[in-house]
Amino acid sequence: MLKRRIFLIPVFVITTLTFTYCTGKPELSRTEFALGTVCSVTLYDKGNPAIYRDIFSRLREIENYMSVNLPDTDVARINAAAGVAPVQVHDDVFKVIQKALYFAEISGGAFDPTVGPLVSLWGIGSENPRVPSQAEIDAALSLINWRDVELDKEQRSVFLRRPGMALDLGAIAKGYAADEAAVIIRKAGLKQAIIDLGGNILVYGEKKDKSPWRVSVQDPLEDRGRSLGVITGPEATMVTSGVYERFFEADGQQYHHIFSPFNGYPADTGLLSVTIISKNSIDADALSTAVFVLGYEKGRALIEPLEGTEAVFVFNDQSVRKTEGANLKINNNSYILIPD
Ligand code: FAD
Ligand code: MG
């Protein structure tokens, strides 16, 4: 069980950064609120403010297309037209939904972008979260099925077949946004950068001294910045899904925000968190959620055949397991790495 209410993201174990936030001057790092979370970008080549501006406006653009918390986004329009008519969407939205359906398929529906009715019902992260009745959960479950999303490539349109269905891209859109931020960094010809979108981390390029990147894995039971271990390696993305990101308490129980589309409750598979290491952040984001819902054995079976994809599993009893290629060192006595 969690010891306290925390809201956090994996934090870097990288040398002290001097923060020079002066308009017009090169900045080492910039932090802004976007996509419902704290987003930080560090451009080691002393990013010029125009690049930060481009990155953060791209993040906001993606939010404005994909949020379910804003009116008139493409996703809000798709949901409003559920059971009625297909809705034409921006390229970004179409691509993310296509990917979401792919991950729904390969995860056997553990990841399901039509989880919207359950998210609204529980209200976790909203001002009024609550434990719904079984009848309400059953009603929401009857509306969840990724196979009822119709895509039309020619029209670039999306149709939810049944009224009441609702997309929620919260488990995948931040990954896409991190990849898109990396595209801007690449185009600008920068050499090293870190993108941190509330738990979606992307380390870009090579460090000047050629040493590997070091990214810490958050201790899911402690405050922000307390790590359980460090992952080292080259350019990659590391995305974590965990019980600690968003939750509420009722009657002495804690309920977190990652739902099992099979029973309508917060997924309870004995895991505190799952971190996926991969090349693309969109993949890592979808997979971290999928694996969290599937649990260790099925989740590992999903990850192992995927090239360039590794995972770290943290269990309720504070034991840790990892796939072979995950370069993790535990640095916290409360956790034990179980060898294969
Ligand atoms: P992840 O594991 O990556 O995703 C969990 C989230 O995905 C859940 O919160 C739920 O939304 C959804 N989900 C739950 N179970 C499943 C499942 N089985 N399959 C698929 N999806 C599932 N937060 C705010 O508080 N206010 C906002 O206005 C807001 N706007 C946002 C706009 C955008 C475009 C995005 C991408 C996010 C926004 N968020 C907002 C944050 C959003 O709620 C986060 O994505 C959320 O905190 C989950 O991210 P995570 O990385 O912790 O967990
Ligand atoms: Mg995710």
Q: 65: CA distance to ligand 1 center in Å?
A: 14
Q: What is the mean pLDDT of the chain?
A: 91
- What gap in Å lies between CA 32 and CA 30, rounded to an integer? 7
Instruction: Give me the DSSP letters along 233-284.
Output: ESSEEEEEEETTSSEEEETTEEEES-B-TTTSSB--SSEEEEEEEES-HHHH
Q: Read off the pLDDT band of 245 (50, 70, 90).
A: confident
Average pLDDT over residues 240-258: 91
- Can you give the pLDDT at residue 11? 37
Residue having the nearest C-alpha atom to atom 41 of ligand 1: 36
CB of 199 closer than 6 angstroms to any ligand 1 atom: yes
144 lines ligand 1 (CB under 6 A): no
Check if the beta carbon of residue 160 is closer than 8 Å to that of residue 6.
no
The domain limits of the chain are 8-63+172-337, 67-160
Q: Which residue has its alpha carbon closest to ligand 1 atom 27?
A: 36
List Cβ neighbours of 25 (8 Å cut-off, separation of 6 or more): 49
Mean pLDDT score, 255-280: 97
Q: Is the CB of 60 under 6 A from ligand 1?
A: no
User: Which residue has the CA at smallest separation from atom 5 of ligand 1?
Assistant: 171
Residue with the bigger pLDDT between 14 and 255: it is 255
Which long-range contacts (C-beta less than 8 Å, at least 24 apart) are formed by 138-147? 138/264, 140/264, 141/261, 141/263, 141/264, 143/114, 143/117, 144/112, 144/114, 144/115, 144/117, 144/118, 144/261, 145/109, 145/112, 145/114, 146/100, 146/101, 146/104, 146/105, 146/109, 146/112, 146/113, 146/114
**319-322 and 336-337 as β-strands: parallel, antiparallel, unpaired?**
parallel
pLDDT score of 134: 98
Using alpha carbons only, give the angle 19, 24, 27 rounded to the nearest 5 degrees.
Answer: 25
Average pLDDT on 45-72 reads 93
Specify the pTM: 0.92
**Nearest atom (ligand 1) to Cα of 75:** 34
pLDDT tens by residue, 4-13: 333 333 333 3
Q: Do domains 8-63+172-337 and 67-160 have the same CATH topology?
A: no
Place of tokens 């000047």: 208
**Ligand 1: residue whose CA is nearest its atom 3:** 171
User: What percentage of the chain exceeds 90 in pLDDT?
Assistant: 84
Please identify, by atom number, the ligand 1 atom nearest to the C-alpha of residue 245: 52
Any idea which residue has 């039309």 for tokens? 152
Interval 316-337: pLDDT, tens: 999 999 999 999 999 999 999 9
Q: What is the pLDDT of residues 193-223, one digit of tens each?
A: 999 999 899 999 999 899 999 999 999 999 8
Predicted confidence (pLDDT) at residue 177 exceeds the cutoff of 50 = yes
- The best mutation among 9, 35, 63 to test binding of ligand 1, ranked by most ligand atoms within 8 Å of the C-beta, falls on 35
Kindly tell me if the per-residue pLDDT of 244 is higher than 90. no
Residues 239, 292: contact at Cβ < 8 Å?
no
Q: Per DSSP, what are the bridge partners of residue 248?
A: 255
Q: What is the CATH number assigned to the segment(s) 67-160?
A: 1.10.3980.10
Which two three-digit tokens encode residue 191? 């050499």
CB atoms within 10 A of CB 339: 6
| Ligand that comes closest to the CA of residue 293 | 1
SS3 122: helix
Pocket of ligand 1, candidates 101, 289, 291: which has the most ligand atoms within 8 Å of its Cβ, to mutate? Answer: 289
Amino acid at 238: M
Half-sphere exposure for 17 (CA within 13 Å, toward CB) = 20
- Confidence band (pLDDT; 50, 70, 90) for 3? very low
Residue 22 CA, ligand 2 centroid: distance in Å: 33
C-alpha 158 to ligand 1 mean position (Å): 20
Read off the pLDDT of residues 112-142 as tens digits, 9 standing for 90 and up.
999 999 999 999 988 999 999 999 999 999 9
Q: Quick one: CATH architecture of 8-63+172-337?
A: Roll (3.10)
Q: Whose CA is nearest to atom 39 of ligand 1?
A: 36
pLDDT for res 45: 80
Ligand nearest to the CA of 76: 1
Task: Report pLDDT for 32.
Answer: 97
Q: How confident is the model at residue 15 (pLDDT cuts 50, 70, 90)?
A: very low
Would you state the pLDDT for residue 208? 86
Phi, psi values for residue 139, rounded to 5°: -65, -40
Is the beta carbon of 294 within 6 A of some atom in ligand 1? no
Residue 171 alpha carbon to ligand 2 centre in Å: 4
DSSP H or E stretch at residue 27? strand 27-34
- What is the position in ligand 1's atom list of the atom closest to the CA of 239? 51
